[in-house]
Amino acid sequence: MRAVDIITKKRHGEALTKEEINFFIEGFVNGSIPDYQASALLMAICCNGMDSWEIVDLTLAMANSGKTVDLSPIKGVKVDKHSTGGVGDTTTLITAPLAAACGVPVAKMAGRGLGHTGGTIDKLESIPGFRTDLSMEEFIQSVETVGLAVAGQSKDLVPADKMLYELRDVTGTVDSIPLIASSIMSKKIASGSDAIVLDVKTGSGAFMQSVNDSFLLADAMVKIGVRAGRKVMAVITDMDQPLGTAVGNALEVREAIEVLKNKQHGPLRDLSIYLAAHMLVTAEACGSLEEALNKVKDALETGEALKKLGDMIENQGGDRAVLDDYSLLPSAEHIIPVKAEREGYISSIDTYKVGLSSQLIGAGRSKKEDNIDAAVGLVMYKRLGDQVQKGDILAEFHVNDLNKFDEASKIFMEAIQIRSARSKLRPLVLGLVTKHGIQKFGAVSDMEG
């Protein structure tokens, strides 16, 4: 078997066998297949696609390219929730405690932020003392003791994905559904959870800006999970505006705590409840979505979910006093309001630019090696459809380096479009994908289950 023959076969649009895919991934990881041949195969896949079985075989080959996590010592159906990335998306810090408070063990390995999107690990590390570099023994102990753990991904986990992504990033092959689906699901499968709920974002702040492409990606990932023996479903959600009001690590932690205290309402709270309910259903802890929604809301209102977050923070070395004393979180030196320059209605938000403006003041990375400032970011005061008067505060920027503010605020103002007429808003949840097929929603009320 030769790498060049596999490349040629895919260049002609033919389906690769499981053996060919395994040979190529193994050879690339061990160094016997060079970067230039891997780049050629990535381009052939990007141009000609893969059928559903090829995507499954590619995903499993990547998942088995390094160490895998064995969660079998933990009793019950272990569940994970994964978002494809957005702005102001702090759902993990809310859904994980909610599901754990309902008796479902949550074992999540998360990543750091890159580009305009935030990373769960960065957010948690803004909590004083919080450790995300858990050993496998510590990770399992945390899930067994507390009911949940959120830790950073091991360097030994899915090395093929890291190596392939570095090539995709510089060869123009990032935007490929087979490659995106296999990248995400290889890590989820290697992480060991029995059940997976996928939050697939769509809109101006998502990697998948087309609704149709988001459904295609969700369908591909669900098929991978099912064929790999996992219980998996996907929710398609709107990212045409930041999900929460806060964009930035410590600011998002504070907002998540406020949601768990049942003091803050809005899309972040609504979607977190909805996703947590699907985590319960997917883990077979509830027989219906309605039952799961009631159980999750009860965990929120009684404070059990907040207690679970505190337990996790304490168990992973953090200071649980942060739940009541936000001064323990990093805070910025300057808080600067950005105001509307005309009256009207917020008709559109370029969510990518909102995330970029936060990244520019230090809340995010442009390269994996970059350091971030956990204190900085912005807090939105207006959402899509809101009426504004000239001089109204659109957002407050939390800044340490004033030299970065002018460019960031300019990009933010470019992101907010104010027009004389109110625009029609689309639903927060646009549909579901399960092993039974695709269900598209037409109204917000469909989210209620």
Q: Annotated catalytic sites, by residue?
A: 82, 161, 168, 183, 187
User: Of 69, 68, 75, 253, which Cα lies nearest the Cα of 147?
Assistant: 75
**Angle between helical axes of 304-315 and 289-301 (0-180°, round to 10):** 70
Tell me phi and psi for residue 3, to 5 degrees: -60, -40
In which residue are the tokens 């323990």 written?
328
- Exposed (0-12), middle (13-18) or buried (19+): which is 367, by Cβ within 10 Å? exposed
